[in-house]
Amino acid sequence: MKAIFVLQVMLITILTKEMKGMVHIHREKSWAYEILEIEHTTSDDELVKVNLKAQHFNRTTLGISGTVDLRYEFSEETMLEMSVLRSASGNADSYQLLPYRIPRMQIYDFLDTFYDAIFKDIKSCSNFPVIETKARDYKFCKVIYFEKCVFTNDLMPNYMPEGYYKALVVISGETDWSLTVLYRAYTVSS
């Protein structure tokens, strides 16, 4: 589940990797983003405790600090799915589901597929497990900390329309919980 937080925060990174070729190709990044808020829900707060905050380290650097306390171990029944929604205005009732998603899959398969893309941004700021074989070989039941973790948009497309986005990660199994990262994309001049 701790891995899930990182995965959730990296949802946009992962989903945009999946959508390469589906958007107009720009030679350079024409946008940046700022994390506005991190929300979470859980069906059992005795099994998952989330304390994550969006943090601005300076005018141009943003990231996340906090903890995800997983008090249960993943199993073959632990599933994960991700989706992205966008709103031009940011009004709660104006978000529309985008076609960028990762369909429901076993959490172990998700980690095995996307671990390298995620780990590059958190290896120096988190105690997230270093996975050298397969995710099934590791234990995730512990407190995972994130200390000033900064996430790049390197794996994301060079162009994204301005607006407000919600990256939603839903984990189900022994308990159901979710993370939603709200961020704003804006145009930058090169």
The pLDDT mean for the chain works out to 85
Q: In the chain, what are the domain boundaries? A: 29-187
Binned at pLDDT 50, 70 and 90, residue 18 comes out as: low
Token reading at 2:
């701790």
CATH class of 29-187: mainly beta
Q: β-strands 163-172, 177-187: how paired? A: antiparallel
pLDDT digits (tens, 9 = 90+) for 73-100: 999 999 999 999 999 999 999 999 988 8
More confident residue, 2 or 53: 53
Local confidence band at 14 (pLDDT 50, 70, 90 cut-offs)? low
pLDDT at position 55? 86
Interior/surface letters 164-177, b for 16+ CB within 10 angstroms, e for the rest: bbbbbbbbbbbbeb
Q: Mean pLDDT throughout 125-134?
A: 91
